[in-house]
Amino acid sequence: MDWLTVFQNSLTQMIGVSAIIYCLAALGLNIQFGYTGLLNFGQAGFAAIGAYAIAVTVATLGWPLWLALFFGILGAIIFALLLGIPTLRLRADYLAIVTIAAAEIIRQVARAVSLNDYFGGSDGISGKYAADWYALNPLPVGIDTALIRFSRNDLWVVINGWTLVAVIVLITWLLMRSPWGRVLKSIREDEDAVRSLGKNVYLYKMQALTLGGVIGAFAGVIFAVAAQSVQPDNYSTTLTFFAYAVLILGGAARVFGPVVGSMIFWFLLVFVGQALNNAVKAGYISSSILRPDQVGQIQFMLVGLGLMALMIYRPQGIFGDEKELALDER
């Protein structure tokens, strides 16, 4: 068993593209769920909007990347408004049901055969979306060390991705210190009290949903640019659930929660997957118990169990403050 490769892959994924994507998705959720208490289970839908905005605009229509980015943000705002208007006046679980349904609507529309010409059906859209942007890459070569390994293009994505994360973390930190952020937190704690102070709770919730959704769309943008393709099934509910696991692991309502959570999550996920894979190949685990193609299923089962255990025994995650997250009473 080659432990060094396992370790190298795990460390690479810990700061790799996947970690950035889920970190961004979780940063959006942090504003919605962590600070405002909104149960958005449709983050995959927001990410899909960001990704498809890039793919359709650049690959299908042949328009520039910056315009695609604009469409992605616009699309996320419209989606947030569509979801928010009917549900934000209702109890929290209605938003959960509607957002999870809406994300499924987006995925099923994107993979529909009858709309193949626009969204490419279940194969999605592949193409050189971001050739111009990759051409800006000043790095001569990638990195190949014993601990981490990135190709030249991946390194460019990773550097830009974490820069984007840093900017969003900074914005979140500034916003949550501001009076606006304090209103969000008090909505989470006691909506009626905020209302009695004359604040328009509905409007604040809508703003939080929209902001979190736009950040979620950025997750999709990075996904599309890094993979140079979009597939509808990458934006299933699994993405949302993973993002929740990331957020709760790191600690909701903490600025750095999603960042730390995403890194640990991907390190553990890849490490367990690779270790199991190697163990099966080396014959430590009989293939009658575990076939190599079943390793992914074990990983997913562990994510499910982990999410349950965290929520039951340590809902504040690693860095969260238990007092801050009064998740009850809504």
Partner 1 sequence: MTGSKSEGGGMRSPMATGKVARRPGYRRVVAFALALFAGLLMAIAPAIAADTGLKGTVKDPTSGAGIAGVVITSEGDGFTESATTGADGKWAIALPGEGTYTVTLDTTSLPSGLGLANPERGTTSIDAYSGQVKTILFPLGDGSAPAPGSEAASKWSQIPQLTVDGIIFGIVIALAAVGLSLVFGTTKLTNFAHGELIALGALLTFFFSSIVGLPLVIAIVVAVLASAFIGGWVQNRVLWKQLRMRGTGLIAALVVSIGLGFFIRYFFLFVFGGQTRQFDEFAGQAGIEIGPVLITPKDLIASFVGVILIGLTTYWLLRTKAGKATRAVADNPALASASGIEVEKVISTVWILGAGLAAFSGVMIGLQSGVSWYMGFQVLLLVFAGTVLGGLGTAFGAIIGSLIVGVLIQLSTLVIPTELKYVGALVVLILILLIRPEGILGRRERIG
> Residue 11 or 303: which CB sits closer to partner 1?
303
Q: Are 220 and 23 in contact (CB under 8 A)?
A: no
Asked if 321 and 254 count as a contact pair (C-beta separation under 8 A), the reply is yes
Nearest to partner 1 of 110, 224 (CB atom) = 110
Alpha helices in the chain (DSSP H): 3-14, 17-29, 43-54, 65-87, 92-110, 116-119, 131-135, 152-177, 179-189, 191-196, 201-227, 237-250, 257-282, 295-313
Cβ neighbours of residue 288 closer than 8 Å, sequence gap 6 or more: none
Q: What are the structure tokens assigned to 261, written together?
A: 């959570």
Residue 119 CB, shortest distance to partner 1, in Å, is: 12
Report, in Å, the least distance between residue 105 CB and partner 1: 5
Q: Please report how close the Cβ of residue 109 comes to partner 1 at its closest, in angstroms.
A: 6
CB of 287 to partner 1, least distance (A): 10
- Is residue 276 classed as helix, strand or coil in its secondary structure? helix
Given a contact cutoff of 8 angstroms between Cβ atoms, the answer to whether 188 and 36 are in contact is: yes
Q: 87 or 228: whose CB is closer to partner 1?
A: 87
* Complex with partner 1: residue 88 or 165, whichever CB lies closer: 88
Instruction: Measure Cα distances from 208 to 15, 48, 133, 234, 262 in Å.
Output: 27, 19, 30, 25, 21
Nearer to partner 1 by Cβ, of 203 and 308: the residue is 308
> What is the nearest approach in angstroms of partner 1 to the Cβ of residue 173?
24
Q: Nearer Cβ to partner 1, position 226 or 252?
A: 252
- Least distance from partner 1 to the Cβ atom of residue 72, Å: 22
Write out the residues near partner 1 by the rule CB under 8 A.
37, 39, 41, 82-83, 85-87, 89-94, 96-98, 100-102, 104-105, 108-109, 112-114, 190, 192, 237-238, 241, 244-245, 248, 288, 293-294, 297-298, 300-301, 303-308, 311-312, 315, 326-330
